[in-house]
Amino acid sequence: APPEIKRLALEQKKIKHPVGKRLIEIALKKQSNLIASADVITSAELLKLAEEVGPHIVALKLHMDIIQDFSFELIDALKKIAREKEFLLFEDRKFGDIGNTQELQFKEGIYKIASWADMITSHVIAGEESLKVFENVGVVAIVEMSSKGTLTDDFYITKALNVAENASNVMGAVAQRKISDDLLLFTPGVNISSAGDAKGQQYNTPERVCKNYHTDFIIVGRGIYQSADAAESAKEYQTKGWNAYLESLG
């Protein structure tokens, strides 16, 4: 990336977390601020999608608990693709319990998320200490949701951001608005051909979330994996997202 972009992206944001720095590095190298959300339900579909979108993304967002045939062979195969195509594995688990329970959910059970995820999402509703259990990953705090009628009002968001900013393992936040420069901003609910679904999801364009909310990373699910050509649409979101991001830097 040209030095002036590097300066803008790296120095405007005061990101200290090593996973956050790595994500920025990948973004600058690939010229992408796109995270694909792989909400498919079989290992075969997931691996195919990872191969197709891999060159265009900085991270693949997963809901591993929706995979019907989960195995550690899947994890090994995903890790291999992630290494080859240079992207991070981002488990959107949205933890939301006391620290002890979250620790068990993070490290144990079927998925052993701690053993393979580079990044995870967590609600911050249980307070700062509950987040300490997420070791060796980048934590992305859910401070605001994209869905209609969400309870994350201004009051909640202010308090949630306060928790997120005080926890040293939190590298970013999910929100639908501009937040402080201490955290990377991740925005889901991005689609260029739909305004929403029948289950409360609300969509914005890449331009809107980058320019109006100063989003760092756009998260796209159905816009990519339900399109006729996932690689082609990932490329389109990559270009649209990156151009809007550069323009938002100013």
Q: CA-CA distance, 62 to 46, in Å (whole number)?
A: 9
Neighbours of 120 (CB within 10 A): 23
Binding string to ligand 5FU for residues 10 to 49, with x set by CB under 6 A, is what? ---------------------------x-x----------
Is residue 223 within the footprint of ligand 5FU (CB under 6 A)?
yes
Name the residue nearer to ligand 5FU (CB basis): 19 or 173.
173
Q: Is 92 a catalytic residue?
A: yes
Ranges within 94-133 binding ligand 5FU (CB under 6 A): none
Binding residue for ligand 5FU, selected from 114, 145, 170, 185, defined by CB under 6 A: 145
Residues 6+ apart with CB under 8 A from 3: none
Q: At what angle do helices 43-53 and 72-85 cross, to 10 degrees?
A: 0
Q: CA-CA distance, 136 to 172, in Å (whole number)?
A: 15
Name the residue nearer to ligand 5FU (CB basis): 201 or 215.
201
Q: CA-CA distance, 214 to 177, in Å (whole number)?
A: 8
Q: CA-CA distance, 174 to 213, in Å (whole number)?
A: 11
Could you tell me which of 92, 163, 155 has the C-alpha nearest to residue 129? 163
Is residue 206 within the footprint of ligand 5FU (CB under 6 A)?
no
Stretch that binds ligand 5FU, among 45-53, 82-90, 129-137, 217-225 (CB under 6 A): 217-225
Name the residue nearer to ligand 5FU (CB basis): 9 or 189.
189
Stretch that binds ligand 5FU, among 21-29, 43-51, 78-86, 142-150 (CB under 6 A): 142-150
Query: Three-state SS for 93?
Result: strand
Q: CA-CA distance, 230 to 44, in Å (whole number)?
A: 15
Is residue 142 within the footprint of ligand 5FU (CB under 6 A)?
yes
Q: Is 94 a catalytic residue?
A: yes
> Which residues are part of a known binding site for substrate?
39, 61, 146, 201, 221-222
> Which residues are part of a known binding site?
39, 61, 146, 201, 221-222
